[in-house]
Structure 1
């Protein structure tokens, strides 16, 4: 009986995923606004001075998203330690 309840709980869709997707879209929109404002101010500079800014802005948006993705999948914002040494794995 409890295995059926456990199976039903695992098959239920989580509310965290749709909320997380909306938050990701909002974060990307916010990041785009920040990037456009910054790029607009730097548009008079030489290309070689602009290039590092483009590269940093193009990569840095991932870091605020990582904890949100972790929360969507695990329900926790912190990184949970993996089970090492016992051969068990969360991946299936």
Structure 2
């Protein structure tokens, strides 16, 4: 566990918040007029899928916030042996 504060946590939270706002604005801007004519059940499915898609890169992002590396420590490639 980390003993000293790091700048990555607040920057990461602000970055995630901004990214979600931009993602939501893009989705609404591109799809709202198109989806308005669809039946409610189809809109529900599309918005559920789009609401879950942003979670895909979240694991690596949270690992970066905690460790400063983009992959988990157990996923690091082995160091070359001399």
Query: TM-score category by the smaller chain?
Result: 0.7 to 0.9
Deviation (angstroms), 1:81:
1.4
Task: Tell me how far apart the structure 2 counterparts of residues 50 and 70 of structure 1 sit (CA, whole Å).
Answer: 33
Counterpart in the other structure of 1:49: 42
Kindly tell me: are residues 51 and 21 of structure 1, through their superposed partners in 2, closer, same or farther at Cα, counting changes over 3 Å? same
Instruction: Figure out how many residues of one structure are paired with residues of the other and give that number.
Output: 73
Deviation (angstroms), 1:44:
0.9
Task: Tell me how far apart the structure 1 counterparts of residues 67 and 18 of structure 2 sit (CA, whole Å).
Answer: 21
Deviation (angstroms), 1:42:
1.0
- Unpaired runs of 5+ in structure 1? 1-9, 83-92
Runs (4+) of structure 1 moved beyond 2 Å?
none
Please give the secondary structure, in 2, of the residue aligned with 1:81. helix
Determine which structure has more spread, i.e. the larger CA radius of gyration: 1
Counterpart in the other structure of 2:12: 20
RMSD: 1.8
Deviation (angstroms), 1:53:
0.5
Task: Tell me how far apart the structure 2 counterparts of residues 65 and 41 of structure 1 sit (CA, whole Å).
Answer: 28
TM-score, normalised to structure 2, is 0.74
- Structure 1 range deviating more: 17-26 or 32-41: 32-41
Kindly tell me: are residues 40 and 66 of structure 1, through their superposed partners in 2, closer, same or farther at Cα, counting changes over 3 Å? farther
